[in-house]
């Protein structure tokens, strides 16, 4: 606040991951995922909102999945999915709560794996990283969301390649 004078954008990207089944899930890792993913998203948003309410185009972007109650998303890693869905529920609730104040709250989620440290270190090493998409697809998508009008774009659950396709398609049709 002292350096920049305000907060215009909050990106809730911090996340803990442990993709194991219910029996294998330790309570220590369960608690960590819920403290970082769900509680952390809520807490950081709560602290930033008084400042965001003063911004010209305030935006919160959570890196969390669309809320989909299909059992396939829960079956192999219930604890992790619950923690990430907690972040998504923050999108749903905060978007509605702060809509009249002009604060946009949206979610962004990749359709496929992204070449990050988590993929490299936890989800398959070099092989998984080679099959993953570059991080630029996330940053390009985030840029499109965060530069949109906060009063007209809130409560959405974006999938990265769909937002990029929609925007490039719109740009082509306008050319």
Query: Which CATH number do you get for residue 97?
Result: 3.40.50.720
Q: Is residue 4 part of a domain?
A: no
Task: Provide the pLDDT confidence category of residue 169 given band limits of 50, 70 and 90.
Answer: very low
pTM of the complete model beyond 0.75:
yes
Task: Quote the number of domains for the chain.
Answer: 1
What is the C-alpha to C-alpha distance for residues 61 and 5, in angstroms, rounded to an integer?
20
Q: Is residue 97 part of a domain?
A: yes
Across the chain, which distance is largest between two alpha carbons, in Å? Answer: 55
Q: Is residue 51 part of a domain?
A: yes
At 107, which helix (H) or strand (E)? Answer: strand 104-109
Determine phi and psi for 8, rounding to 5 degrees.
Answer: -105, -30
Q: Is residue 1 part of a domain?
A: no
Q: What local confidence, expressed as pLDDT, does residue 173 receive?
A: 36
What is the C-alpha to C-alpha distance for residues 133 and 17, in angstroms, rounded to an integer?
19
What is the C-alpha to C-alpha distance for residues 174 and 19, in angstroms, rounded to an integer?
43
Structure tokens that stand for 51 in this block: 């400042």
Give pLDDT tens digits for 13-55: 988 989 899 999 999 999 999 999 999 999 999 999 999 999 9
Asked if 30 is an active-site residue, the reply is: no
Helix ranges (H only) for the chain are 27-33, 40-52, 78-98, 117-122, 125-131, 136-146, 160-174
Task: Give the domain extent around 48.
Answer: 9-174
Q: Is residue 88 part of a domain?
A: yes
Which are the contacts of 33, defined by CB distance < 8 A and separation ≥ 6? 16, 17, 18, 79, 80, 83
Q: What local confidence, expressed as pLDDT, does residue 172 receive?
A: 37
Active-site position among 30, 80, 85, 158:
80
Q: Is residue 2 part of a domain?
A: no
Task: Provide the pLDDT confidence category of residue 120 given band limits of 50, 70 and 90.
Answer: low
Q: What local confidence, expressed as pLDDT, does residue 2 receive?
A: 83
């Amino acid at each position: 606040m002292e350096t920049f004078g305000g907060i215009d954008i909050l990106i809730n990207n911090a996340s803990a991951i442990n993709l194991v089944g219910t029996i294998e899930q330790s309570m220590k890792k369960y608690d960590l995922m819920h403290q970082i993913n769900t509680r952390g998203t809520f807490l950081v948003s709560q602290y930033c909102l008084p400042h965001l309410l003063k911004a010209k185009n305030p935006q919160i972007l959570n890196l969390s999945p669309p809320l989909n109650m299909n059992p396939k998303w829960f079956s192999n890693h219930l604890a992790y999915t619950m923690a990430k869905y907690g972040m998504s529920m923050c999108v749903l609730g905060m978007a509605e709560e702060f809509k009249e104040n002009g604060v946009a709250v949206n979610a962004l989620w990749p359709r496929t794996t992204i070449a990050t440290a988590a993929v490299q270190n936890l989800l398959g090493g070099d092989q998984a990283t080679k099959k993953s998409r570059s991080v630029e697809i996330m940053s390009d998508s985030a840029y499109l969301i965060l530069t949109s009008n906060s009063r007209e774009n809130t409560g959405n659950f974006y999938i990265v390649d769909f937002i990029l396709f929609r925007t490039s398609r719109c740009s082509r049709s306008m050319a």
